[in-house]
Chain A
């Protein structure tokens, strides 16, 4: 596999993570080294192998549909950085029309 160089600034945007210039440079170097290492996975023939997303064959585990108590509104808000009227307070997300 041709080893691509990771574009850390672009990926940080996808991850919604602001990085300093110094972090971007450092993580680029660190992660290009890691990616060069993991490229070795190429050598293993997996043409007929199904991916294993879970260590045990457990599928569609559902509990009984019985109503019970859950976290109260008040308890769910106790760690909110900002709350008002029983709700999380967030910045304005609706842009005005141009």
Chain B
């Protein structure tokens, strides 16, 4: 089992206590020993990681640091399957910009992290390559859809990982696995080479052992990319600069709509602890209201599925991906290739998305959802007139058992209620673990900030992390 943050291992590398090659070997050993029980990784290529390690430039900020990568972010020459049978034989012919940037910072992409198929799911169970166990609460779901990324970091099989977050898919598994997960502002990190799920919501981000590592990874990942027309031209900054600085006088909003009786007592307790610790640090907690908080799940699932049905139409069995055998004509080839390639949740969402975009229903569902989305964004704009940050739960409950009563799709969707708003409004959000009694499942709390306020958000998250420690 591998312990230690990015800064720990960077120190070990630069002082010569360990070589990059030895570090890759160490991670591979941990992976080979622990992955059969956890299934955090669904493929890895030790030889290419060792080749990169042999060339590692330790003078770069992430020099020699292996990073696990969710299976929906393209790595040249590596399987990029989105944990789907549809892409069972797919090897990416190019690197995602996030990977290019990691490599430029000296990091070594190593290991494809398991996930819910095409990032559709909240518990990691929707993978064509089997579910992932939660190393911090064995027998329980690691959360999703970045299930493998979270489990690899929490299970001592990765120093840090990349995930993607469309409705909470970084922050929620981070919370369930007891680590830090951050979704930056929409557009902060290029989505070029991220297999598209819902393009107006998707964002790449880090899953790490602590807040500092998230800041270090943002330093490498953020910045405009002409290959992604939605990537922001907003200037980047040193995201580590504010870490350790005081949060005295910071105004943090607590939405009254988030204090639901439906929250698990452990979630409520974590929130109370965070409030107490932030207050101790000199922050002022202000009750606020997000009047459209209850509308977010309905708006989100219409928008996300509509965008998914459009994005996933590219999987047609022609240019890449699975092609059914023995088909009769082009339409039959499309329909059967898609039938054989996609799993049940992906099919369900394609059907829902196609329906809400179809003639006669577009205005009632899709256009209506986009208008409600505007109301949700207005709620946040008004809230950020009053406060600098917003504190809330990540999920209404800790991780559910892997085996157990199956929830209906609607019940599963409703559990995304606290993470979805940041995606609808494009805001940055971070999940910070709140220490739990021995044997209890991990629970995180979430902080949201204004657009492009990641540096400040990380400063507050870091202060909270320190106060909770």
Contact across chains for B372 and A44 when beta carbons are under 8 A apart: yes
Query: Known contacts being A11-B354, A16-B335, A49-B375, is A55 close to B342, with CB within 8 Å?
Result: no
Contact across chains for A41 and B372 when beta carbons are under 8 A apart: yes
Among candidates B295, B352, B354, residue contacting A41 with C-beta atoms closer than 8 Å: B295
Q: How close is B211's CB to chain A, nearest CB, in angstroms?
A: 24
A residues with CB within 8 A of B: 1, 4, 6, 8, 11-12, 14-19, 23, 26-27, 30-31, 33-35, 37-38, 40-42, 44, 46, 49-56, 58, 61-64, 71, 75-76, 78-82, 88, 90-93
B344 nearest in chain A by CB position: A23
| A49 / chain B contacts, CB cutoff of 8 Å | 371, 374-375
Report how far A89 CA is from B131 CA in the complex, Å. 35
| A79 / chain B contacts, CB cutoff of 8 Å | 89-91, 93, 319-321
B residues with CB within 8 A of A: 89-91, 93-94, 185-187, 200-201, 226-227, 229-230, 232, 292, 294-295, 297-299, 301-302, 309, 313, 316-323, 327, 329-331, 333-336, 338-339, 342, 344, 347-348, 350-352, 354-355, 358, 361, 364-365, 367-375, 377, 408-410, 413, 423-426, 451
Q: How close is B224's CB to chain A, nearest CB, in angstroms?
A: 10
Report how far A71 CA is from B373 CA in the complex, Å. 37
| A19 / chain B contacts, CB cutoff of 8 Å | 339, 347
Q: How close is B299's CB to chain A, nearest CB, in angstroms?
A: 6
Q: How close is B291's CB to chain A, nearest CB, in angstroms?
A: 9
| A80 / chain B contacts, CB cutoff of 8 Å | 318-320
A83 nearest in chain B by CB position: B319
Contact across chains for B413 and A81 when beta carbons are under 8 A apart: no
Contact across chains for A18 and B339 when beta carbons are under 8 A apart: yes
Q: How close is A55's CB to chain B, nearest CB, in angstroms?
A: 3
7 closest residue pairs by CB, A with B: A55-B426, A51-B370, A81-B323, A79-B320, A46-B371, A63-B226, A52-B374
Contact across chains for A33 and B410 when beta carbons are under 8 A apart: yes
Report how far A50 CA is from B368 CA in the complex, Å. 10
Query: Known contacts being A16-B335, A58-B187, A91-B327, is A23 close to B347, with CB within 8 Å?
Result: yes
Known: A41-B372, A51-B371, A91-B327. 5 other contacts (CB 8 A): A38-B369, A40-B295, A42-B368, A49-B371, A88-B319
Query: Known contacts being A18-B335, A30-B409, A90-B318, is A50 close to B374, with CB within 8 Å?
Result: yes
Report how far A1 CA is from B322 CA in the complex, Å. 40
Report how far A18 CA is from B331 CA in the complex, Å. 10
| A62 / chain B contacts, CB cutoff of 8 Å | 229
Q: How close is B35's CB to chain A, nearest CB, in angstroms?
A: 26
Contact across chains for B348 and A30 when beta carbons are under 8 A apart: yes
| A42 / chain B contacts, CB cutoff of 8 Å | 368
Report how far A26 CA is from B410 CA in the complex, Å. 13
B89 nearest in chain A by CB position: A79
Report how far A4 CA is from B298 CA in the complex, Å. 16
Contact across chains for A61 and B230 when beta carbons are under 8 A apart: yes
- Main SS of chain A's interface residues? loop
Contact across chains for B295 and A91 when beta carbons are under 8 A apart: no
Contact across chains for A18 and B336 when beta carbons are under 8 A apart: yes
Query: Known contacts being A23-B347, A61-B230, A80-B319, is A16 close to B334, with CB within 8 Å?
Result: yes
B226 nearest in chain A by CB position: A63
| B425 / chain A contacts, CB cutoff of 8 Å | 55
Contact across chains for A71 and B351 when beta carbons are under 8 A apart: no
Contact across chains for B94 and A46 when beta carbons are under 8 A apart: no
Contact across chains for A56 and B295 when beta carbons are under 8 A apart: no
| A78 / chain B contacts, CB cutoff of 8 Å | 91, 93
List 15 A-B residue pairs with CB atoms under 8 Å apart, sorted by A's residue number.
Answer: A15-B350, A34-B413, A44-B292, A46-B368, A49-B374, A51-B373, A52-B373, A52-B377, A56-B186, A56-B187, A58-B232, A71-B94, A75-B93, A82-B323, A88-B319
Q: How close is B331's CB to chain A, nearest CB, in angstroms?
A: 7
Contact across chains for A8 and B319 when beta carbons are under 8 A apart: no
Query: Known contacts being A37-B298, A54-B200, is A27 close to B338, with CB within 8 Å?
Result: no
